Chain A
C-alpha cells in the first residue's frame, strides 16, 4: 500500500529532475566552494571572485569568441556533499574543469572522483598532500603551508633566534601547519621548546601563553584562522608577554586587525602579496594582476579582496590561459594547465610541470608586520 504511494512520489520527484536545460555554446566550468558552514570565510570570497572574473571575461567578449559559464555549488564544507556535487558537475552539467573545493578535506574526498572521470580540478585549498604525490588531474593555486613556514624560519634564522614556542589550532589548518613547523625546524637550526594547541572555538588562551612565558622561547608562532589568533594576541598583551609573536597566513586580512585591535601592533606574519599590493616595487611581476584584482573586488563587492579570493582568481585565469592556447575539452585543458609557465597571478608566479602541480616558489609569500593598524612589508 505504502509502496505504491511511495513509487508514485518518486516518479513525480524524478520528473522534476529531467527538466535540465542545456545551453550549447559556452565553455562550462564548475565550482565547488564552502560558501556556508565553518569554512565560509574561504568559500565566500572565492565564489564572489570566481563569479566576478567570469563575468568580466564574458563582458570582454569571452575567450577566443566563446563565453565561459560558471556553475557554482555550495558544499557547506562537507566532504560527502563535495563528492556528490563534483559528480553532479561532471555527469549532469558536463563541465570541462572544476575549481575548488575550499578545504583540504573536501579536496582529498573529491580527488578519486575527478581522477576516475578525468576532469581537471584546480583546488583552492592549501594542504600539501593534494599535489604531493602529483595526481594527473589535480592542480592547486593556494600556497603550500611549507612555504609560509619557510618564510618565518628564514627570518628567525637571520636574527639568530633559535628557540620557538608553537601554539596551533586543532583543526585541519592548524594540524597541517604544526606538522610543517616541526618538520622544517631542524633544517633552519630551530628548536621547538614548547608545543601547545587550542580548540577552534576557545575564547581564552592565557593558560597556554602562561606556560609559554615560562619557557625559553624567543618567538611564539601561532597557526590558526580567525578569531583564535586575535584572542591570543590580546591575551599575550594582557599577560605582558614581550616575546615577538608570529601568525600564519590564515589571518592575513584586515579582519584580523579589526578583531585584535591595538594588540595586533608589531605582529608579523607571512602573507600572499595581495595585502600589500600597492607597496610592491613596480618591477614585481605580480603587481599588475594584484592591483587589478583589488580594484575589481572593491568595485563589485565594496570589500577588500583577500588572498582566499585570489586562489579562485588564479584558478579561473589559469583555465582561461589554457583555453586561449586552444584547449576546450577536459583533456586539452589539463594538458594546457600543465604547460603553464611564468603566469603572474595573485598567489604568486605559477610554473606548472608534469612533476609539479602546485607551481609556486618561495617568493609567493612576503613577511608583513602590523603597523598603525595596517600591513607593512618587512624588509
Chain B
C-alpha cells in the first residue's frame, strides 16, 4: 500500500512539473486531451480490465456528458459546476437502468448491445437539432471558472483537467485494491465461482457499468467546457474503438496502463506528423507490433523489454 502511494505521489509530481518543460507550446493543448482520454480509458478499464465486461459504446456516455453539460450551460444558463455533477448523475443513472438488461449478455452479444447503444446515442445527437444543434454542433459553452479565475488557457486547463484525472486515478487505485476490486476480478475470472463465494455478480456488474459511465460523463463535461464547442462527430463509433485500443494497448486491469495507452494514442499522431502521408501506415504498424509483442500492454511490456535488454533475456514474462 505504501509503495502504491509513493508511486502515485511520484506520478503527481511528474504531472505537475511537466508544463515547465513545454512552456505553453501547443503540446500543452495536446496534453490536456491526454488527461481527458486518460480519464476515459480508466473508466473503460474499470469495466473491461477489472470486471471483464466489454463496451463499444463509451463514446456515447462521453458525448452525453458533454452535451448535457453543454446544453444546460449554453442554452439554459446553468452554472457549469452545477451542470457537471448533474450530467454525471443522470448519465450514471441511465447507464444503471440500461445495464440491468444489457449486462445479462456475455461476450460478443454484450459487445453488440453496447455498440448499438453508442450508435443510438450518436443518432440522437445528430437528429435532435433543436436541442443539440445537430451535426453542425453546439457552440457558446462557457469555460469553467473558480473564484474569479477562468480556465481559458491551455496551461490553466491542463491543471484543471489533470486535477480531475489525478483524483480519478487515486479513486480507481483505491477501488481496485478494495474488497470491491477483488470481487470485480473474481467476476472477471469466473462469474460462477464469484457467485459461489457470495459476490452478487449481477448487481456488481451494473454498479461498475454505471460508475464507468459516470466517469466518462465527467470527462465529457470537462471536454465540453475546455473546447467550448462540441459536435456529434467527436462522439461516434470510431472514438469508442479508439478508447478500447487505448485500454488494450496500455494494459488491461492497470490504472497506469490506461494512462500509458491514452498518452500513446493521443501523442503518437503528433509525433508521426513528420512522416506526412505515411503517418497512418506507421501508426497502424506500430499498434500491430505492440499487440503482437506486448500482449499484456505497455504497462507490462515496457518493464519486460527493459529486463530483457539489461539482463540479457533474464526477464520473466508474466504477460
B134 CB to nearest chain A CB (Å): 4
On chain A, the residues within 8 Å of B30 by CB distance are 84
The A1-50 residues at the B interface (CB cut-off 8 A) are: 1-3, 5-7, 9-10, 13-14, 16-17, 36
Cβ-defined contact, A104 with B21, below 8 A: no
Instruction: Give the residues in chain B near A3, CB-CB below 8 Å.
Output: 7, 10-11, 14, 256
Minimum CB–CB distance for A187 against chain B, Å: 21
> How many of B's residues come within 8 Å of A, CB to CB?
42
- Which stretch from A61-69, A72-80, A227-235, A335-343 is at the chain B interface? A72-80
Contacts known (A2-B7, A176-B136); A109 close to B26, Cβ less than 8 A? no
Residue A261, interface by CB 8 Å: no
- Tell me whether A175 and B11 are in contact (CB under 8 A): no
What mask results when residues 110 to 140 of chain B are scored 1 for a CB within 8 Å of chain A, else 0? Answer: 0000000000000000110100001111010
Residues on A with C-beta less than 8 A from B126 are 170-171
Which of B22, B29, B228, B302 interacts with A84 by CB under 8 Å?
B29
User: Which of A87-95, A305-313, A319-327 lies at the interface?
Assistant: A87-95
- With a cutoff of 8 Å between Cβ atoms, the chain A residues found around residue B14 in the complex are 3, 6-7, 10
On whether the beta carbons of B303 and A108 are closer than 8 Å, the reply is no
Interface residue total, chain A, C-beta cutoff 8 A: 40
Asked whether any CB of chain B lies closer than 8 Å to the CB of A120, the reply is no
The answer to whether the Cβ of A83 comes within 8 Å of any Cβ in the partner chain is yes
Q: Is the CB of A175 within 8 A of B303?
A: no
Chain A residues contacting B302 (CB-CB under 8 Å) are 2, 5-6, 9
Expressed in whole angstroms, the Cα–Cα distance for A332 and B228 within the complex equals 28
Pairwise interchain contact A112-B228, C-beta atoms closer than 8 A: yes
Q: When chains A and B are docked, how far (Å) is the Cα of A80 from the Cα of B129?
A: 21
Task: Kindly state whether residue B33 has any CB partner on chain A within 8 Å.
Answer: yes
Confirm or deny: A244 has a beta carbon within 8 angstroms of a beta carbon on chain B: no
B residues bordering A, Cβ < 8 Å? 7, 10-11, 14, 18, 21-22, 24-27, 29-30, 33, 126-127, 129, 134-137, 139, 152, 154, 227-231, 233-234, 256, 260, 267, 270-271, 273, 280, 299, 302-303, 306
10 A-B pairs closest in CB distance: A88-B26, A172-B135, A105-B231, A87-B26, A172-B136, A87-B29, A109-B229, A91-B26, A175-B134, A3-B10
Q: Mind listing 18 A-B residue pairs with CB under 8 Å?
A: A6-B14, A6-B256, A9-B302, A79-B227, A79-B229, A84-B26, A84-B30, A87-B154, A88-B26, A92-B26, A105-B233, A108-B139, A108-B229, A170-B127, A172-B134, A172-B136, A172-B137, A172-B231
